[in-house]
């Protein structure tokens, strides 16, 4: 029997895969929630045409191929993106994918402005309207959300999240697993230690070296990681 051609490309599926055509088109997004759907839109704008979801829970109106652990079935046929907001869960799943040899992609919306000398890590998404300035480095599996700004020479480490409309001045460092809330502002040259949460609308004006949740203008410690309320 003649091999089936792959959707009009004149190539067999194996040839198409080898030449990148199929690989470019078969993407599994892990996490079918709201964040996953935004990621799907960005993946479409990046040229992916065959996009599937894996999730442990049923999400309304979204068909999945199965549970997250089912990714092992697709390691040779699909590339992956982990679209889970919780950074610790995102890290756990990313680690198992990498260990198993899964290929994780980076997604950048065409309307984002990324400096030519900025670096963007694997598994990171840069969403619509985001700006990443000259000399900035974004680590792996980070989220640079819609309309956020990361100015020049910033270092955003792995699994951090700069939420919708947040602004980081030049030379800001976010250690791993920092979550900057929507519309928050970090002035230039501040460093934020691992695992901190900066509340929506907060203004960070000095380094943060104690882990916790910070809110307000200027931002102050509001909650410790164990949940204890401070202010």
Ligand X SMILES: CC(C)(COP(=O)(O)OP(=O)(O)OC[C@H]1O[C@@H](n2cnc3c(N)ncnc32)[C@H](O)[C@@H]1OP(=O)(O)O)[C@@H](O)C(=O)NCCC(=O)NCCS
- Sites of contact with ligand X (CB under 6 A): 145, 163-164, 181-182, 197, 199-202, 213, 215-216, 222-223
The distance of closest approach from Cβ of residue 115 to ligand X in the complex, given in angstroms and rounded to an integer, is 23
- Active-site position among 35, 78, 109, 152: 152
Q: Pick between residue 96 and residue 111 the one whose CB is nearest to ligand X.
A: 111
Is 152 assigned a catalytic role?
Answer: yes
Q: What is the closest distance, in whole angstroms, from the C-beta atom of residue 33 to ligand X in the complex?
A: 12
Nearest to 217 by CA among 229, 225, 205, 231: 205
* Cβ neighbours around 173 below 10 Å, total: 20
Report the residue number, 36 or 199, with the smaller CB distance to ligand X.
Answer: 199
Which residues are within 8 A (CB) of 81 and not within 5 positions of it... i.e. 6 or more apart? 27, 28, 29, 30, 39, 43, 104, 105, 107, 123, 125
CA torsion 103-109-110-115 (nearest 10°) is: -90
CB of 162 to ligand X, least distance (A): 9
Nearer to ligand X, 76 or 231 (CB): 231
Residue 189 CA to residue 153 CA, distance in Å, equals: 9
Active-site amino acid positions: 152
């Amino acid at each position: 029997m003649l091999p089936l051609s792959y959707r009009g490309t004149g190539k067999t599926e194996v040839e198409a895969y080898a030449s990148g055509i199929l690989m470019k088109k078969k993407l599994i997004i892990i996490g079918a929630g709201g964040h996953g759907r935004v990621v799907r839109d960005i993946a479409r704008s990046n040229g992916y045409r065959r996009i599937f979801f894996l999730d442990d829970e049923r999400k309304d109106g979204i068909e999945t191929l199965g549970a997250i652990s089912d990714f092992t079935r697709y390691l040779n046929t699909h590339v992956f993106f982990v679209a889970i907001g919780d950074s610790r869960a995102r890290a756990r799943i990313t680690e198992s994918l990498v260990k198993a040899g899964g290929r994780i992609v980076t997604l950048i919306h065409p309307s984002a402005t990324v400096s030519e000398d900025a670096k963007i890590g694997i598994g990171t998404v840069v969403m619509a309207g985001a700006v990443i300035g000259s000399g900035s480095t974004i680590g792996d599996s980070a989220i640079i959300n819609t309309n956020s700004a990361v100015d020049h020479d910033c270092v955003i480490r792995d699994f951090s999240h700069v939420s919708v409309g947040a602004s980081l001045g030049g030379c800001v460092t976010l250690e791993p697993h920092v979550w900057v809330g929507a519309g928050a502002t970090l002035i230039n040259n501040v460093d934020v230690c691992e695992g901190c949460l900066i509340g929506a609308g907060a203004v960070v004006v000095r380094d943060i070296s104690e882990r916790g949740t910070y809110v307000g203008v200027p931002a102050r410690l509001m909650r410790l990681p164990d949940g204890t309320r401070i202010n």
